Chains A and B, each alone.
Chain A
Amino acid sequence: MKDVLRLAGAQIRVTLRERVSLFWFLVFPLLLLTLLTLIFSGLGEDPRMTFDIALFQQSVPQAEAPDFAGIVEHVFTDASKPVGDRPPLFRLTIHAADAVSRYEEEMERLRLGRLDLVVVVPAGFNDAVLSHLGGSDEAAAPIEIYTSAGRASSTMAHDVVRQILAGVDREILAIAGRFNREAAVSITRREIGTGTEAFSYIDFLLPGIVLMGFFTAGLFSVPGTILFGREQGILKRYWVTPLSTSRFLLGFGIGHMALCGVQFSLAWLLAAVAFGARVSFFSLLPALYLVLAIVVFLAFGFLIASLAKTGNAGMAIANIVNMPMMFLGGLFFPISDLPLPLKILMMGNPLTYLADGLRTSLGVDVAVFPILATFGVPLAWILVSVAVAAHRLRLEEAT
């Protein structure tokens, strides 16, 4: 057993010495974890940008008539003020009725993405509101909103402005005595699946990143080591020693598992310390899924190594299957309602079942597949991969 462990140690040292392997094995998963957490963790919570909005006030107030257009302006001005330490939701520029020349200018700025949204309170707005409140058949008072096509910032500003206009609506109706704020509908919010602790994106993401790390390690590192080792004649040197092929593979596998362990520990530490992940992997079922994942992708790596004749061909195969398997395994984004061909790929993908089983066992998602499938499909992949790899290698030996 000593020789096997020595080989495992050598495998670890070689990987840690190679900057490229080190990057893909350790740095890349941590980098991806950091980037995705930074991008998605506060989605929909904190305002991440301050929009630029222009309001054209084309309605002129008349003496002794209520100024509803003024209410619109007032509500927008209030909403553009910073609240506490938070930056303002938007910067507002108000153009008076006589600033006709600025209209074309601002619309051009909007088109070019220099401005996020334009609100126009048209001339005659006050009369239109009065008329509508008076119960005439006239349509409700028009307000115009212009957004910039193809710009996410403009779409986001639109969502904000819709809420503000809903507030303006209620304000005007309340003044007119048509809406009682005290009798407003009471709103509550409830989340299912939170347990006792608040659920965060990092808890959902971390199992996906851990599996991605195991997957890419198996996909690139295993065939890379074997095929390039064969090309450079390194494997030949092993075969002239008393070490049998099975013991070589055992040592290689143990070294690979240890490296995956290091990778997992670093990802978990980063997620827990830097991003406050609370998800706990330290119970039987999650641990079983982690070990299963390492073994599946180790076997998958052997399968690729047996299918390719050269190191470059192996890397090409790995690159081809990498992205589709990763994205169709639901590691980073939920997958549902896929077209049939992609659904078939998803259903045959071991990552789909491992991600589902691991997340369910960690309590961060609800099972989509029965537990038997989450173990059975990856196990089937191990059996098929090992059988094909053994058969191909035997054929190669025979020729």
Chain B
Amino acid sequence: MNALRSLLLAEARIFLRDRMSLIFTALFPLLFIVIFGSLMSDFGSSGGARLGVLLSPDADLEVLGTVLDSLGNIEWRTFEPLDALDTAIEKRQIDLGIQWSGARIEFIYNAHRTQENYAYEEIARAIVSRLELAAQGASSVLAVKHESVGSGSEADWFTLVVPGILSFSILSAGLFAIAGHLSSMKERRLLSRYLVTPMRPSALLFAIAVVRLAVVFSSTLLTLAVAMLMFRLHYDIDWFRYILFIIASTLGTMGLGTVIARVVRQASSASNLASAISLVMMFVSGIYFPIEIMPAFLQKLSLAMPLRHMADVMRYVTGVMDMPDRDYWIILGAFVGLAFALFPLLARYVVTAEKH
């Protein structure tokens, strides 16, 4: 027992000394939360848009003004002449320009804002549908009542991004535990030294897994806490499922790391391949952008990415997205299965250390 404790302490010390692992598992999620929280909290939303209005001499501002006021979360002001409005749009002081003549409405966009214009087009459509009725003195017949069902009814996109970042941090921790840390130990022939001691290889694997689990658990909790405190996000965490998922996904991704370590023998190459794979997964797994905005083939490809399922489960256990409980157990089972299937391979990788 003492030997195992020493091994655990040694592993923990090695992890804390390994700058790269520390950065990828502990620092990156925090950095991502702070940067993306500031950059992307309004992703896909037109809230707070600034509109500039230019009126023709015979146009009535009252009708248009009433419509714009009814839209809620936007700011608008009038401009004159047209050049002033164009300049304000060009300089991004105004998000969407409107030229209103009473019978004709022109929407003016800044062509360079390709990532944002689709949200302003949504505003333009809402203005037109209300203005068309208002211009003819008609009022809407329909009173549309909207309600969101499910546990994450108040969740905006960034609230969903945070669990995605946590999943990415688990993936990195699992992959780098083997494809970075263990393969580097093997390359430096440290594993061979372990193998000549009475210590069983499984004890070493156990120590690595326990340390990674502790790190992942603390890192995800710290990241969640920062997100909740800095950006006032709310998560309703199902702790039982959360802990189970962290254990299963960390072990499962360690299994994936084994595959990389077996394919690429050089430690630096394995580590680089792990970061390349995790970066590609990050882009196509709906972590930062909704999967639905991707082309159909990328949406299908994302189904093959473990990270996509990890992000979905993480959103489920943090209470921002619903999923059938059965799906949760299937995904959990898949990661446990992956760990069980690949850990023997990992054990062989450890004991064959001296051959390389």
B-contacting residues of A (Cβ < 8 Å)? 19-20, 23-24, 28, 31-32, 35-36, 38-40, 42-44, 48-49, 68, 107, 110-113, 129, 132-133, 139-153, 155-156, 158-159, 162-163, 165-166, 168-170, 172-173, 176, 178-180, 183-194, 199-201, 204, 312-313, 315-316, 319-320, 323-324, 327-328, 333-336, 338-339, 342, 364-366
Contacts and interface: CB of A to CB of B under 8 A. Distances in A.
Interface residues of B, number: 94
Interface stretch (B2-10, B28-36, B216-224): B28-36
A132 B142 CA distance: 9
Contacts of A129: 141
Contacts of B197: none
B106 A40 contact: no
A186 B103 contact: yes
Interface string B30-44: 011011101110001
A184 B132 contact: yes
A183 B136 contact: yes
B294 to A, nearest CB: 5
20 contacts: A40-B289, A140-B142, A144-B144, A146-B149, A147-B148, A149-B153, A150-B150, A150-B321, A150-B322, A163-B125, A170-B129, A185-B104, A188-B107, A191-B110, A192-B110, A192-B111, A194-B111, A200-B114, A315-B20, A328-B35
Nearest to A310: B19
B283 A39 contact: yes
A48 B292 contact: yes
Given A312-B19, A324-B31, A149 B150 contact: yes
Contact of B298 (A38, A139, A146): A38
Contacts of A327: 35-36, 39
Nearest to B157: A152
Contacts of A151: 321
B132 A172 contact: no
Contacts of B348: none
Contacts of A200: 114
A48 B298 CA distance: 10
A172 B97 CA distance: 30
A59 to B, nearest CB: 13
B104 A188 contact: yes
Contacts of B20: 312, 315-316, 319
Contacts of A31: 280
Contacts of A193: 90, 110-112
A39 B282 CA distance: 13
B324 interface: yes
Nearest to B20: A316
B71 to A, nearest CB: 12
User: Shortest 4 CB-CB distances between A and B: which pairs?
Assistant: A44-B118, A152-B290, A166-B129, A150-B152
